Amino acid sequence: MTLNGDLFSVTGRVACVTGASSGLGRRAADVLATAGAKVVGIARRQDALEEWQAGVGNNGAYVTGDIADQANLPDLVAKISEPFGSPDILVHAAGLNMREAADDVTAEGWDATLAINLSAPFFLSQAFVPAMKSQRWGRIVNFASLQSSRAFPGGIAYGATKGGIAQLTRAMAQAWSEQGITANALGPGFFPTELTAPVFDDKDRAARNAAQTCIGRNGVPEDLDGPLLFLCSEASRYVTGADPDGRRGVHSKMKALVYTGPETLEMRDAPDPTAGAGEVLVAIDSVGICGSDMHAYLGHDDRRPAPLILGHEAAGTIVGGARDGVRVTINPLVTNPTSAESRAGRENLDPSRQIISMPPREGAFAQYVTMPERNLVEVPDGVSFSQAALAEPLAVSWHAVRLGLEALHPSMEQRAVVLGGGAIGVAAYLALQGMGVKDVILIEPNPTRRDYLTNQLSMDARAETNEMAPLIVDAVGYSVTRATASALAAPGGVIVHIGLGEDAGGLDIRRMTLQEITFIGTYTYTNQDFRDCAQAMWDGRLGPLNWIEERPLRDGARAFAQIKAGEVLPPKIILKP
């Protein structure tokens, strides 16, 4: 067997590269010229083209022109053919991305984007195909994108053209491959260029992009040299219509902690979420482990069947669009804003409500999640993402405490007992104090946790109490805690029930009836409660928010097991994807 030594050679070929003045277009022009092809570079910036041509010497020539100007196309085609003859190789690297929100796109901007990104590759190729057909050899390389198959905020026009490029590539292959002309696309993913400089200037965002790749890093220009030479040479004679979009093999997945069955969690690759209408993509920085996550982990929640990405207490950064880079905390409860309940300000009772971490919405134990933009609350710079992730559990208790205080008769003292020293109980204690109730006792039977609450958080934490109080908050929800709540509620008082630990038992209905004790079941929060609670956090009214322990997401399975075993002291573990 003898290999053809010229299999990857482009020596003697004539190539035309659009967008040759900068970025990946310039890289392609450099590579082909260095490999022996005669290259004509096209762009609008003459100074940059002159600099490029000086670097490649006699193997390069340039034409200054606008490839989007269809009226001038015949003249442009003639100028391209003048230095070395009609090109055998066409590389369409020129592109325009205005990065505008859908509501801001104008007809002029839309037309300009399509003219450069989609129309020019076709009509320029069409002009040179007859010469390629005559010699039964030609190579067309289009530049696709991550957005060829995935929507990005702020990229509706650009994404439409790149989706079009994928189909155009296949259509070119179907039309011309029998005449020896192959048409393929390269999808670079995240590479450093002038256009992507804002992405790479943001170190955190660049690192998140790198984490999505199988290789674990972002691309560098030389990574395209080999694939480009392959597609431009004889080596690719039986490859046509290929349209890698920057995800296959490179940007193909995100990492997620997936619940796969009772007491089983696995780190897996998961499909990248795609933002729908009115939604944005959020890169998750911090996500808390909730009691409902534990409930599902133990196999006690039929609403959360495996396999499923759990987690709904999250904060992170908006990716793309007009608010790209904005730090946010997530209200995970997605409701219909036009429902009767929502119009009444009681969104949490909307019968069509959904919450991330429960089908059909995957949760936030992952690198990314999509959310309606109305569900995001901006986080000030002085608040860490781990602290911001506490907004959800704090809002649960904020809502419950608000309802309890509103139901309390004005003649009664402002005193309360909270049952349970977990995150919701701690949050209820803080919410009560934030709303002006200073006399609060927290009951926590676990001595180690109780010492933590007393010594680290300066709470009045006790193993038990016989003191009745006008307001009792059951943050556990077992029959034994409901029995305690029934006994401790003062006549005419209020029991607020948050916990969902056990479905039945415990309430002393006779005493509650005879003593006119009000029982209130509470679920999550209203949108206004969530925002009010977040503002109280930013203002410092809910304390230093230091009752957390941070761990990497990959250690999530161990964290769940330790919580189950009672080995975790802080009320909240925050996982960091």
The CATH number given to whatever domain includes residue 465 is 3.40.50.720
The reply to whether 158 and 216 lie within a common domain is yes
The reply to whether 137 and 18 lie within a common domain is yes
The reply to whether 378 and 398 lie within a common domain is no
The reply to whether 184 and 308 lie within a common domain is no
Active-site annotation holder among 62, 158, 297, 525: 158
- CA dist 346 and 124 (Å) reads 58
The reply to whether 416 and 490 lie within a common domain is yes
The reply to whether 357 and 405 lie within a common domain is no
The reply to whether 148 and 26 lie within a common domain is yes
Amino acid at 45: R
Give Cα 114 to chain centroid, integer Å.
27
Number of structural domains in the chain:
3
- Estimate the share of the chain in helix, then strand, then coil, as percent rounded to the nearest 5: 40, 20, 40
Does the residue 442 lie in any domain? yes
- CA dist 327 and 552 (Å) reads 20
Range of the domain at 232: 14-236
Pairing of strands 327-330, 376-378: antiparallel
Pairing of strands 89-92, 14-18: parallel
Instruction: Tell me which of 207, 236, 265 is where a domain ends.
Output: 236
Q: DSSP string spanning 179-217?
A: GTEEEEEE---S---STTHHHHHSHHHHHHHHHTBSSSS
| Helical pair 120-135 and 73-81, crossing angle rounded to 10 deg | 50
Nearest to 470 by CA among 495, 501, 498: 495
Does the residue 241 lie in any domain? no
- H-type alpha helices, 272-348: 291-297, 340-343
Q: 278: helix, coil or strand?
A: coil
The reply to whether 399 and 383 lie within a common domain is no
Does the residue 541 lie in any domain? no
Structure tokens at 265: 């969690």
Amino acid at 272: D
Q: DSSP string spanning 102-151?
A: GGG--HHHHHHHHIIIIIHHHHHHHHHHHHHHHHT-EEEEEE--GGGTS-
- Give φ, ψ of 7 to 5 degrees: -55, -40
- H-type alpha helices, 234-325: 291-297
Cβ 239 vs Cβ 231: under 8 Å: yes
282 bridge partner residues: 318, 369
- CA dist 485 and 506 (Å) reads 9
Does the residue 5 lie in any domain? no
Does the residue 214 lie in any domain? yes
- What's the confidence (pLDDT) of residue 97? 87
Does the residue 327 lie in any domain? yes
The reply to whether 218 and 277 lie within a common domain is no
The reply to whether 384 and 472 lie within a common domain is no
Query: Does the active-site annotation cover 158?
Result: yes
The CATH number of the domain holding residue 273 is: 3.90.180.10
Please give the C-alpha separations between residue 8 and each of 160, 225, 234, in angstroms, as whole numbers.
33, 12, 6
- What's the confidence (pLDDT) of residue 72? 92
Contacts of 482 (CB under 8 A, 6+ apart): 474, 497, 505, 506, 507
| pLDDT digit string (tens) for the chain, length 577 residues | 556 668 899 999 999 999 999 999 999 999 999 999 999 999 999 999 999 999 999 999 999 999 999 999 999 999 999 999 999 999 999 998 888 888 899 999 999 999 999 999 999 999 999 999 999 999 999 999 877 777 767 789 988 998 899 999 999 999 999 999 999 999 887 788 777 777 788 887 778 777 767 777 888 889 889 999 999 999 999 999 886 544 433 334 689 999 999 999 999 988 888 888 889 999 999 999 998 999 999 999 899 999 999 999 999 999 887 888 899 999 999 999 999 999 999 999 999 999 999 999 999 999 999 999 999 999 999 999 999 999 999 999 999 999 999 999 999 999 999 999 999 999 999 999 999 999 999 999 999 999 999 999 999 999 999 999 999 999 999 999 999 999 999 999 999 999 887 888 999 999 999 999 999 999 999 999 999 999 999 999 999 999 999 999 999 999 999 999 989 989 999 999 9
The DSSP letter of residue 249 is: T
pTM equals 0.63
Pairing of strands 518-521, 489-497: parallel
Neighbours of 562 (CB within 10 A): 14
∠ Cα 198 204 210 (to 5°): 90
The reply to whether 403 and 277 lie within a common domain is no
Does the residue 407 lie in any domain? yes
Structure tokens at 439: 């006399």
The reply to whether 428 and 399 lie within a common domain is yes
The DSSP letter of residue 361 is: B
Does the residue 7 lie in any domain? no
